[in-house]
Chains A and B, each alone.
Chain A
Amino acid sequence: MDLFASLGDGFAVALTWQNLALALLGCFLGTVMGALPGLGPSNGVAILIPLAFTMGLGPTPALILLTSVYYGAMYGGRISSILLNIPGDEPAMMTCLDGHPMARKGMAGEALALSGIASFVGAFFATWGLALLAPQLVKIALLFGPAEYFALFALAFMTLGGVSSTNQAKAAFAAALGLGLATIGVDTQTGVPRFTFGEVHLYDGLDFLVAIVGLFALSEVFIFLEHRHGGSDAAGKKMEIGRLTPPMSMLKACTPTMLRTSVLGFIAGVLPGAGASLGSFISYTMEKRLVDKEGTFGTGDPRGVAAPEAGNNAAAGGALVPMLALGVPGSGTTAVLLAVLLALNITPGPLLFTQNPDVVWGLIAALFIANFMLLALNIPMVGLFTRLLLIPSRVLMPIVAMVSFVGIYGISGSSFDLLVMIGFGVMGWVLRKFDVPLVPIILGTLLGNSMENNLRRAVTIDNGNWWTLVDSPLALTLWGIAIVGFILPLFFGARVKAGMRARRDEEGSISD
C-alpha cells in the first residue's frame, strides 16, 4: 500500500495546472522532434534545457517537461518511419520494415493509429514497471557483466535473419559492413585511433544519426532525383490513406504481440549497456520468429508494426530505471536527463528513492499523465499526419533534404558530418540498387562497438581466457537462445519456406 500512497503523493505533485501545461507542451514538441529525421529525443531534450532553466523551473516541473519530450519523441519517431520510410530516430528504424509497406498498401492511417496504441501499451507497461520494481530491477542490471553483454549482442546478431525476408546473404553482408564501420574511431581499450586517417572528426567514430539520415533519408532523395522523369508527381504514386482507426480484429490480433514485446523491450531498457534500439530490434525479430508463420512480416504485417513500437517505448521507460536508481544512463537521452538532474542538485543513485521521493514519484506520475496525453494527441492527429502522403514528391523531397541537413548540422555544428552524411546517402543509394537491406548496416554500426568492447573487456578481465564467455548460467542461457534462434531456422527454414510458397501460390494474392 506504500506504493499507492507514494504514487498518490506523486500525482498531487504532478497535477497542478503548470505541470499539466508543461507535460502537454513537452508531449507536443517531443512528437514533432521525434518525427523529424535527424532530430532525436536526446537533441530534443538538450534543446529544451535552456528553456527549462530560463523559466526558472524547479526540479520536478523541469523533469516533467523534459521527460514528456523524451516520451513524445519516442512516439513521434514512428511517424516518418511509416509515412516516408525514413526513421525519425534510431529505435524507430524497425518500424520502417512493416510500417511503410502498410502505408503503401493504403493502410497508413491504420498503421499510425496502431503504432500509437502499441507505443501507449509499451510505455504504460514500462511506467508501471518503473513504479513497482525500479529498486529491485537494478539487480538485473548487476547480473550483466561484459561476458553477458557480449552474449546478448551476439544473440541480437544471430536473429538478424529476421530482418530481411528476402536474401540472408545480403543481410549478412550489410551487417558485416556495419560492423566494419563501427571500428572507425579511437579504440577505448588501447587508446589507438583506427581508420581515422589523422582526421580528428573521426576520433569518436561515426554518429549513428548521421548514418541513419544519410542511408535512409538522403538515399530516398537520390532515388527520387534518378526517377524524376518518371512518376514523380502526386498523380504518379497516388497513395491511398484508407481508414484512420484500426479495426478491432487487428487490435485483437496484435494484443499478445504488444504484451510480449513490452516485457522484452522493458528488460532491454533496464540494461544500461543495451538500450531502446536493441529493445525494438529484439522485439521485432523475436516476434517474427514466434508468430510469423505465413511469412508476412516485412510486407506490411500489423504485428510487425506493433512489436517494435511497444518494444521501443517500453525500453524508453526501462532506461529510466538505471538512470534513477544507479545514476547510469542507458541511452543518449537518459545521459542528458542525468545531467539535468545533476544541474538541479539532485544526485541520482541508490538513495534517490528515499532522499527525493517527491521528485521520483512526481516524475512517475507525470509519465502516466504524459502517456495518456500522447495517446489523446496522437490518435486524432493521425488524419493530419497522413495528409503528408498527399504532398507530391517534388515538394516533399527537397523538404526532406533540407530537414536532414539542418538537423545533422544542428547535432554537432560541424560541416564534416554533412559530408559524412552525403557519403552515407550515396552508399545507401548504391546499396538499394543492389537490393541490400539498410537496417542491418545501422545495427552493425550501433551495436558493433559495444559488442567488441564487451568481448575485449570480458577476455581481458579473465586474462585472455576465452571460456569466460560461457562461464555463467545467464551467459549460457543467452547463448542457448541465440543458437536455437540461428540453427533451427537453417534446418526447418527450407521446409517452412517451401510450405509458404505453396500456400502463396494457392492464394495468389501476395507478391513481392
Chain B
Amino acid sequence: MTLYATRGLIAAAFLSLAATAGLAQENPECIAPANPGGGWDFTCRQVGKSMQDLGLIAKTMQVSNLAGGGGGVAFAEVVNKRNDSNDLIVAASTATATRLAQGAYPGNTMDQVRWLASVGADYGVIAVAAANEIQTLPQLLDQIKSDPKSISIAGGSAVGGWDHLKVLIAANAYGIEDVRTVKYIAFDGGGEAVTQLLAGSVQAFTGDVSEAKGFVDSGDIRVIAVLSPERLEGEFASMPTAREQGVDAIGANWRGFYAPGGMSDDAYNAWVEKIGALYASAEWKEVMATNGMAPLDLQGAAFQQFVTESVAQIEAISREIGIIK
C-alpha cells in the first residue's frame, strides 16, 4: 500500500514542480482521526484538494487515517509522538470538543494542542418524516413532555455524542425538566438514522443539515427546526429556526483543525494564514454551499477562544444530564 501511496506522491511532486515552493510546510500532512469515509476524512481530503488547487501548498496533502477511540488515538499520538511537527494538521469538529469535555480522551486535555482555524459549520436539524402530522418543534417537544415514550429520536452518534446532545439542548431550552426521559436511539451514522426515519421505525431524526439535505430536496422528510441563530442562506432558507419558534437552542457542528502543541509560531501562523486564505476563496464558498455548510470564520486566537468556550458549554450540559459526574 505504501508503494501506491508513494507513487501517487511522486506523481504529485512532479506535477507541482512548477508551482511555488512551500516555505513552512514542505510535506503537508493531515491526520483524519477516523477511517476513510467519515466527516474528518472528508475535511482533510477536501481541504487538501482545495489548498492544492489554489496553490497554497506545493505538494499534495498527505492524508493519514488514524482511527480509534473517537479521535482519541490520533490526539494521543499527536501529543505523545508528533508534538514538534510543523507540517502536521489534524481534522477536528464538535465531536472532538464533546469528547474532550467529557474526558473521553483519557489523560488528554484541549490545552495540549494548538487550535488553528475553522473551515465552516454544519448546523443541527431536527426532522420528521414528511407524512408525520407534527409540523413544528414545539409540537414535537410537547408530545415528548406529555408522553416521552411515544417519540423515538434517531441520530448518528453514540449516546452522549453530539447528535444526542443537540436534542437535549433543545429539550432543555423548552423546559423539559428531566432530559433523560428523551428517548434517543443511536445508529451507525446519520445516513442509517435517516433511513430508519423513512422506514418508520423512529419518529424523529437529529443530525446535520448536510445529512438531511438530499431527503429534504426529494420531499421525504421535513425539517421542523434548524439549530442556527438565524435562517440559513440560499436553498436552506425555508427551514425555520428553533429560535423563531420560541426554543432558544443553538447547535453547530463546527469543522476545523488543530496542530501539535510544540509547533513553532512561524509554522502555526503560516497554517493559520493558509487556512484563512482557503476560507476566503470563492472555491471554498462553493464547497460550503453544495455541502450545506454555514459560515464560521475563526482563525488563530479567536478559534482557540471559541473551542475553549465550546468545551466548557458541552461540559456543563453533560454534567446536567448526568453523562459526566
Contact = CB atoms under 8 A, between A and B. Distances in A.
Q: Do A and B come from one complex?
A: yes
Interface of A: 29, 33, 39, 42-43, 45-51, 53-55, 141-146, 186-191, 198, 200-204, 272-273, 322, 326-329, 332, 335-336, 338-339, 342-343, 345, 347-352, 406-407, 410-414, 416, 450, 453, 457, 460-461, 463
Sort A-B residue pairs by CB-CB distance and give the 3 closest, nearest first: A349-B214, A335-B37, A350-B218
A272 B5 contact: no
Nearest to A29: B4
Contacts, number: 199
A191 B161 CA distance: 8
Nearest to B70: A203
A151 B294 CA distance: 41
A411 B66 CA distance: 8
Given A145-B199, A200-B73, A188 B158 contact: yes
B20 to A, nearest CB: 17
A350 B106 contact: no
Contacts of A453: 186, 188
Interface of A is mostly: helix
Contact of B191 (A53, A146, A198, A326): A326
Nearest to B66: A413
Interface in B190-233: 191-192, 194-196, 198-202, 213-215, 217-218, 220
A50 B12 contact: yes
B214 A51 contact: no
Contacts of A411: 65
Contacts of B67: 204, 412
B159 A191 contact: yes
Contact of B159 (A188, A204, A463): A188
A350 B216 CA distance: 10
Given A201-B73, A273-B192, A345-B290, 13 more contacts: A43-B36, A48-B4, A51-B11, A53-B45, A54-B12, A189-B186, A200-B105, A203-B69, A203-B104, A338-B191, A351-B214, A412-B65, A413-B65
Interface string B73-88: 1001100000000000
B35 interface: yes
Nearest to B12: A54
Interface in B124-150: 149
A198 B76 CA distance: 13
B310 interface: no
A33 B2 CA distance: 12
Contacts of B214: 327, 347-352
B36 A339 contact: yes
13 contacts: A42-B36, A47-B1, A47-B4, A48-B4, A50-B60, A191-B158, A272-B195, A327-B194, A332-B35, A349-B217, A350-B214, A450-B188, A457-B186
B49 A46 contact: no
B105 A350 contact: no
A4 to B, nearest CB: 25
Interface in B38-77: 38, 41-42, 45-46, 48-49, 52, 60, 62-70, 72-73, 76-77
Among B11, B35, B213, chain A packs the most CB atoms within 10 A around the CB of B35
A457 B160 contact: no
B11 to A, nearest CB: 6
B291 A349 contact: no
Contacts of A450: 188
Question: Which of B1, B7, B48, B185 counts the most chain A CB atoms within 10 A?
Answer: B1
Nearest to A55: B11
B274 interface: no
B202 A461 contact: yes
Task: Bin chain B's interface residue count.
Answer: 35 or more
A335 B161 CA distance: 20
B199 A272 contact: no
Interface of B: 1-2, 4-5, 7-9, 11-12, 15, 35-38, 41-42, 45-46, 48-49, 52, 60, 62-70, 72-73, 76-77, 104-106, 149, 152, 158-161, 183, 185-189, 191-192, 194-196, 198-202, 213-215, 217-218, 220, 286-287, 290-291, 323
A49 B42 CA distance: 11
Contacts of A39: 1
A80 to B, nearest CB: 15
Contact of A186 (B158, B201, B220): B158
B323 A191 contact: yes
B215 to A, nearest CB: 6
Contacts of B192: 272-273, 328
B254 to A, nearest CB: 18
A412 B68 contact: yes
Contact of A146 (B5, B46, B106, B196): B196
Contacts of B194: 326-328
Contacts of B62: 50
B2 to A, nearest CB: 6
A48 B63 CA distance: 11
Contacts of B287: 345
B185 A326 contact: no
B45 A414 contact: no
Contacts of B2: 406, 410
A49 B65 CA distance: 13
B49 A343 contact: yes
Contacts of A48: 4, 8
B68 A460 contact: no
Given A338-B37, A339-B36, A347-B214, A406 B291 contact: no
B201 A461 contact: yes
A369 to B, nearest CB: 22
Contact of B11 (A33, A54, A143, A329): A54
